[in-house]
Structure 1
């Protein structure tokens, strides 16, 4: 975390763990090191309406995540304050960011906050609008510089103009590292010709892997982090309340694990460069998700999971 104040009451000390031979649990995003299991803020609010109780629970959950060693938070201005979990709301911009600031600022020194810009209500922002979005993220989070900013795309062929605009903001010191999201291999290559890319965030999960297998492999070859969204649940289950597949549940039962832990373990098995950012509004689920790195799936388990189609 690179801001003018550091919170010593929420300490994170990762260097000792890396020195103790646990480096496989970590990945380097440019000049910062993160745990491979982080936390995504998209489902932070839960299914209820916004209110003081929702915010207090979210604040407590974020602080608990830091206590458990999470040092990679993934957020966005358009993450919702209410409604079905995972649903995007442009009517409550910056809710998640402001809750993160309330819970954790001044931030622990080793905390990395990644955010994304691009989507606006009903359209993609123009390149000349990206600076305003970045400035709004800085203000909402209470930061001097953003650690990682993804350019989140939809419906465009060339990303050069948009990514070039973010690269200019990086050169001005507003952004430390750049990523791209929802992209194809050729778009990643286009971005890398403009500025270094430290991470790609695309949809990837049990049952929805094949379409992004190529870019996952390319990221591994290039030393770029691959950060799946919808890794914890298939898109059809993002709102919660829908049972997991029998095959996933059977593997979970055999290991004494949860279905979510199985899905996360499968995600992490795709390569050391793959980072998980499971989101939840439940402290119990948070703690379960963070234990997924200890679950070792057998070759037979992996073969079954590879064959699933959601």
Structure 2
């Protein structure tokens, strides 16, 4: 497996990581509920990702819930010194495919302490708020996060599914270093946030990065993939890497074969013409 990664990004201006990372969500049961069906294989995938050059892994206390963080610790602890593990909090899980936003400061405080224990770390490198909860002012939701930063339990703070105004509001409470929003070749609703985060020096982490566009794009993607000797998934990832230098990718998979394919995207450099053709 190639270890060549298409350049790096400094999270918080400090921690340098390879831009092609790994998202742990698929290492759970159906509906992101329960543990990985094949736990030994899941551990192999995590180890293979790190061996292939991944030093940024994204998880959440709600994946399982809790099982994904435990799995990562079981597979990789004691962690390599350069590995950044990002986790998230702010959801209650009531069943498969069910996600209930919970910005109650008490819940957030418990989520942070729970993640620290499950990941077997004294400090979470990047803790992300899953969603703004309309039931609580975000200033209240983030209060225990600020406390955790001051206590040395959290190094950096990120947000998920937010617009620019929400980012600015959160920034008045605590320094924000990353934003994780839905973004891919097909769904570019958050273009403004991609541009804003780049201007602010924040990382932008697209979730669901592998959606490769509507049918009208498929022929174009296939043509460009053939030219590069690549798969359509690799082209979708390569497009994101080309889109902006602060984009960090976290494609997830439970398959060693797919992991190898995803990692190969780092070796593809799209020309300006290719990028422009896909961006139309």
Same fold flag (TM > 0.5)? yes
Q: What's the counterpart of residue 57 of structure 1?
A: 41
Superposed displacement of residue 164, structure 1: 3.0
2-structure distance, mates of 1:98, 1:130: 19
SS in 2 for 1:245: helix
The separation in 1 between residues aligned to 2:139 and 2:195, in whole angstroms, is 22
Matches within 5 A, 1:131-150: 131-150=109-128
Distance of 1:198 and 1:28 partners within structure 2:
10
Provide the alpha-carbon RMSD of the alignment: 2.6
Q: For residue 148 of structure 2, what is the aligned residue in structure 1?
A: 169
Structure-to-structure mapping, 1:41-80, within 5 angstroms = 41-45=24-28, 54-79=38-63
Q: Does structure 1 conserve the Cα–Cα contact (< 8 Å) formed by 2:28 and 2:67?
A: no
Equivalent pairs, count: 268
C-alpha separation in 2, matches of 1:172 and 1:51: 31
**Secondary structure, in 3 states, of the residue corresponding to 1:203?**
coil
How big is the shift at 1:297? 1.5
Q: How does 1:1-310 map to 2 (within 5 A)?
A: 25-30=7-12, 31-45=14-28, 54-79=38-63, 92-121=64-93, 122-154=100-132, 156=134, 159-209=138-188, 211-233=189-211, 245-307=218-280
Distance 1:112 1:143 in 2: 11
Separation in structure 2 between the aligned mates of residue 38 and residue 249 of structure 1, nearest angstrom: 24
Q: Contact between 2:61 and 2:115, CA under 8 Å: does it hold in 1? A: yes
Q: After superposition, give the CA deviation of every residue in 1:18-63 in whole Å (9 maximum; x if it has no partner).
A: xxxx8x7111112311110000001124769977861000001111
Q: What runs of 5+ residues in structure 2 fail to find an aligned partner?
A: 94-99
Provide TM-score, normalisation by structure 2: 0.87
- Alpha-carbon separation, structure 1, partners of 2:34 and 2:102: 26
**Residue in 2 that maps onto 1:88:** none
Does structure 1 retain, via aligned residues, the 8 Å contact 2:46–2:75?
A: yes
CA contact (8 A) 1:228 1:275 kept: yes
Partner Cα distance (1:47, 1:250) in 2: 34
Contact 2:85–2:124 (CA<8 Å) still a contact in 1? yes
Q: Specify every segment of 5 or more residues in structure 1 that has no aligned partner in the other structure, as ranges.
A: 1-13, 80-91, 237-241
Instruction: Give 1:6's aligned residue.
Output: none
Distance in structure 2 (CA, Å) of the matches to 1:100 and 1:27 = 23
Residue pair 2:20, 2:263 contacting (<8 A) in 1 also: yes
Q: Report what 1:4 is aligned to.
A: none
Residues 235 and 165 of structure 1: CA distance in aligned 2, closer, same or farther (over 3 Å): farther
Does structure 1 retain, via aligned residues, the 8 Å contact 2:29–2:36?
A: no
Give, in angstroms, the shift of residue 124 of structure 1.
1.9
**Contact 2:241 2:247 (C-alpha < 8 Å) held by counterparts:** yes
Equivalent pair of 2:186/2:211 in contact (CA under 8 Å): no
Question: CA separation of 1:138/1:204 partners in 2, compared to 1, >3 Å: closer, same or farther?
Answer: same
Q: TM-score under structure 1 normalisation?
A: 0.79
Residues 68, 131 of structure 1: alpha-carbon distance in 2 compared, 3 angstrom cutoff: same
C-alpha distance in 2, partners of 1:98/1:117? Answer: 15
